[in-house]
Structure 1
Amino acid sequence: MANVLIVDDSSTVRNELNDFLSRNGFRVALAVDGQDGLSKLRQDPGIRLVVCDVNMPHMDGLTMAEKVRSELRNTAVNIVMLTTENSPTMKERGKAAGIRGWIVKPFNGPAVLNSFKSLAGA
């Protein structure tokens, strides 16, 4: 059972995050887009933190976050966006969907490690 779900269409980003988080004691699941992310969340109720890109094919990260709250009725999972997007409009949409954090790429693991541990209950 994972406690962190990484949702990103870039295999490089998924692998980098997976390696870093796994080395730091997290149990990680991976998803390639928002649809896959929703499926993984349905399958694994132990996920406490989702680290998600915004721009992905099939379903973007903000739509996925909205569906986590509305369709899955999951308000317990913490969602953090990791993206190149930095527009106030997108951030407002994320806030409305219950996003707990917005990190602009590139990923700086050591800078967010303690926050991720807290959000994931690790």
Structure 2
Amino acid sequence: MRYCDGFKKGIMDFLYLRILAEGDCYGYQISQILKKVTNGVIEVTNGSMYTSLDRLVSKGYITDYKRAVGDTPPRIYYHIEDAGREVLGYMLEGYDEFEKAVHMVLDYVPHEVSQEDVV
């Protein structure tokens, strides 16, 4: 098991909203964007992705609609709504703050913190 697998569980809604902020996408397209931009580090299964997308729809952050493409069955596209853009903004702020805090811990050097600072 790769260690980064545990990180993915709490961040996928954030990543889906970020991708949809750039434009409407259908599910397979979202999964391929994730795979491509992360060099294969993040790959999602259809089951987990569609569960997350359905949850985002139910919260009103995104909407879905069908669009016919040629002779193939209609695809379900996802569109970010204003509420989704707003929550994405909060997520981006929170992620930035959290990332900085993680880096502080990773850069931690024990002799730089006195005992009085940790009591």
Task: Give TM-score scaled by structure 2 length.
Answer: 0.29
Q: Which structure shows the bigger proportion of residues in helix conformation?
A: 2
Structure of higher CA gyration radius: 2
